[in-house]
Structure 1
Amino acid sequence: MMQPYGDADSNLRSIAGRAEGFGRLAIGGLHGGLYFVTSLSDDGPGSLREGCRRKEPLWIVFEVSGTINLSSYLSVSSHKTIDGRGQRIKLTGKGLRLKECDNIIVCNLEFEGGRGHDVDGIQIKPNSRNIWIDRCSLRDYDDGLIDITRQSTDITISRCYFAQHDKTMLIGADPTHVGDRCIRVTIHHCFFDGTRQRHPRVRFGKVHLYNNYTRNWGIYAVCASVESQIYSQCNIYEAGDKKKTFEFYTEKAADKEEQKSGFITSEGDMFLNGAQPLCLPIESKGESMFHPSEYYPTWTMEAATHSLREVAQFCTGWQSICRPDGQ
């Protein structure tokens, strides 16, 4: 098996700058001091919120395990690594907000039970970039699990587990937000386990999907809407009752006259249990499609096989691993 990031846990900070794909420049709090979360309180000394609001670069680690009940969105400032390795931290109530920030790494956390209008597990907007979300488990929020909108870009989502949810991942929220043409996201080695739709749903942006496992969706697996370009490479799509893998929604960009959907290239994907493979909408034929190699030279990918399907079920989401050595 070809597993990405084989030695990324060899030292505490060795994950910095190691993301594959569009988020590859994310270094998080590499050049900052260590911040120890010693309290599960929502705020105050030793809390996660206190570390995230500080303006200087920080590498945030946890000395405690347990649930942090957030009464409001937890805003993360630039140059932060939130590193849950070595403990088991669950965020509930609300989620993380990555607003106008740069260089964020979020690793090995659980998100569950976010309540309230427009409450996402991880909300990335506006104008945020160089972000890596790795090995997180996300389920049961009132809105999205991860939403990437309003000109946020250069983001990688890897080895995450998604379950018990409807609108899983939205990339580009509105056809009037034409600035979202800048959005670029890589999603790889993730497991979408019975979530209903949006794995992801995309407007405008360029999205590279590889070696993900999506099963038993409730409406569709992946949706391309206005002007989006989705490169689906060596993923496994296993249908439940609903067989439509790819959906195309037409919408009108605010600065265009005609409605358009997005388009999808499927290369090396595996379709199981009657999952219907790609059917391009007529208006997308002949239009240009980006290729990931235009933006980054290498990525760790293997053929879509049943062994990859098995690995995806236990190598995604929060992991019981030690915190690596290092300062």
Structure 2
Amino acid sequence: MASLPYADVDSNLRDLAGKAEGFGRLAIGGLHGPIYSVTTLADDGPGSLREGCSRQEPLWIVFEISGTINLSSYLSVSSYKTIDGRGQMIKFTGKGLRLKECEHIIICNLEFEGGRGHDVDGIQIKPNSRHIWIDRCSLHDYDDGLIDITRQSTDITISRCYFSQHDKTMLIGADPSHIGDRCIRVTIHHCFFDGTRQRQPRVRFGKVHLYNNYTRNWSVYAVCASVESQIYSQNNIYEAGEKKVAFKYYTEMAADMEEAKSGLIRSEGDLFLNGVQSCLLTGIGEECIFHPSEYYPTWTMEMASDSLKSVLQVCTGWQAIPRPAELMTSA
């Protein structure tokens, strides 16, 4: 049986704070604030999620009701918030969450489906946001991305999420003109990309650590390294459908450079199934790719295997788990 990380975060309500693995490990969300209870599925007004997220104070947001919140516009989340969906079934539709110029955000155990409109992402992280953890969410069928991380947003972890029914799944780094995106650092682990077409993820400029993810049945490619990006792919499972190429390289020219470049990918311990062609470029700049241990000392990882594949199909995305009690700890 595969062992997943975060076995201890569901014992006490606030045990999520500061527990992410990877680049988002410092995210504390609303640890030091009171509990805010969402009591209505209305888009706005008293007791709504939008009202809680707009408050300029730390809050640990929980839900006292299950159902669908139809967002008429992006819901902006201010700094030091935890949006904790444990204990209920909350689905967002219409639009998504926007993390703009904020820090210390935790988003846990929610579903996103059916976002419509130009530039509408499930979770849009830009600009200048940091210390973010997105955990155990289900995301599908938005008009743009499911999670997009751009414009100097950094120190982010995405874990135990389920992605499906989508085209351009995850963009990290805006475009070649946004050279400030060289600061971007993202960890993606124990996620299941189930038939999403491409961008699992696509990266420009940033550093991305992928480990113990399962990606299957893509239609264009699995992972793409664009201009100056560095992708460390470690003990992931790539299972092809009709399209066999796992790794793609796109050459683009940064705005402050005179030569176009692609990104770099290092594959270590990855499992390739059903005739996958990794198409990995070897011997070209591999020594320049970062190693995660330069930034964080430990992470929970096992060999890529059929056992891990089976577990990720069950244990990713929204889960029907109770909301933990808030237990007071002695100083």
Normalised to the residue count of structure 2, the TM-score between the two structures is 0.97
Q: Say whether the 8 Å CA contact 1:144–1:168 is kept in structure 2.
A: yes
Helix, strand or coil for the counterpart of 1:165? coil
Change (3 A) 1:166 1:286: closer
Structure 1 residues 170-202: Cα deviation after superposition (integer angstroms, max 9, x where no partner): 000100000000000000000000000000000
Q: Deviations over 1:151-171 (max 9, x none)?
A: 000000000000000000000
User: Which residue number corresponds to residue 276 of structure 1?
Assistant: 277
Alignment of 1:290-301 (within 5 A): 290-301=290-301
CA distance in structure 2 between the partners assigned to 1:5 and 1:38 by the alignment: 28
Secondary structure at the aligned position of 1:13 is classed as helix
4+ long deviations beyond 2 Å: 284-287
- What is the CA deviation profile of residues 43-71 of structure 1, one whole-angstrom value per residue up to 9, with x for unaligned ones? 00000000000000000000000000000
Q: Indicate the SS of the match to 2:10.
A: coil
Aligned 8 A contact 1:214 1:236 in 2: yes
Number of the residue aligned with 2:171: 170
SS in 2 for 1:52: helix
Q: Note if 1:180 corresponds to 2:181.
A: yes
By how many angstroms is 1:2 displaced?
2.1
Match of 1:24 in 2: 25
Closer/same/farther in 2, CA of residues 260 and 95 from structure 1, 3 Å limit: same
- State the partner residue of 1:304: 304
1:139–1:162 CA contact under 8 A, matched in 2: yes
Contact 1:43 1:50 in 2 (8 A): yes
Could you list the runs of 5+ residues in structure 2 that have no partner in the other structure?
none
Q: Which residue of 2 aligns with 1:244?
A: 245
Partner amino acid for 2:248?
A: E
Task: Tell me the distance in 1 between the aligned counterparts of 2:90 and 2:279.
Answer: 39
Distance 1:17 1:235 in 2: 25
Give CA deviations for 1:271-311 in whole Å, capped at 9, x if unaligned.
Answer: 000011242177x4355110000000000000000000000
Shift in Å, 1:142: 0.2
Residue 61 of structure 2 aligns to a residue in which SS?
A: strand
C-alpha distance in 1 between matches for 2:4 and 2:194: 20
- Deviation string, structure 1 residues 180-236 (Cα, Å, up to 9, x no partner): 000000000000000000000000000000000000000000000000000000000
Aligned to 2:47: 46
Q: Distance in 2 between matches of 1:182 and 1:285?
A: 19
Equivalences for residues 19-98 of structure 1 within 5 A: 19-98=20-99
Q: CA–CA distance in 2 between the matches of 1:279 and 1:72?
A: 41
SS in 2 for 1:312: helix
User: What is the letter of the counterpart of residue 118 of structure 1?
Assistant: D
Aligned residues: 326
Distance in 2, matches of 1:44 and 1:260, equals: 49
SS in 1 for 2:15: coil
Query: Which residue of 2 is the match for residue 321 of structure 1?
Result: 321
Deviation at 1:317, TM superposition (A): 0.1
* Structure 2 residue 164 is matched with structure 1 residue 159: no
What is the distance in 2 between the residues matched to 1:40 and 1:278? 47
> Which blocks of at least 5 consecutive residues in structure 1 are unaligned?
none
Q: Partner residue of 2:288? A: 288
CA distance in 2, matches of 1:276, 1:52: 44
Task: Tell me the amino acid that sits aligned with residue 139 of structure 1.
Answer: H
Which amino acid in the other structure matches residue 140 of structure 1?
D
Distance 1:10 1:112 in 2: 29
How many angstroms apart in 2 are the aligned matches of 1:281 and 1:177?
A: 27
Distance (Å, rounded) in 1 between the aligned partners of 2:288 and 2:106: 32
- Distance in 1 separating the partners of 2:97 and 2:63: 17
Query: 2:273 is aligned with what amino acid?
Result: L
The 8 Å contact of residues 266 and 286 in structure 2, kept in 1 or not, is answered as no
Q: Tell me, what secondary structure is at the counterpart of 2:288? A: coil
Q: Deviations over 1:78-116 (max 9, x none)?
A: 000000000000000000000000000000000000000
Structure 2 CA distance for partners of 1:12 and 1:98, relative to 1, 3 Å? same
**Counterpart of 2:107?**
106
CA gap of 1:280–1:44, structure 2 versus 1, over 3 A, is same
Percent identity (aligned): 80
Instruction: Work out whether 1:198 is the aligned partner of 2:203.
Output: no
What is the aligned partner in structure 2 of residue 229 from structure 1? 230
Cα pair 2:188 2:210 within 8 Å, conserved: yes
Checking the alignment, whether the CA contact within 8 Å between 1:76 and 1:101 is kept in structure 2 is: yes
The question of whether the paired residues in 2 share the 8 Å contact of 1:266 and 1:278 is answered with no
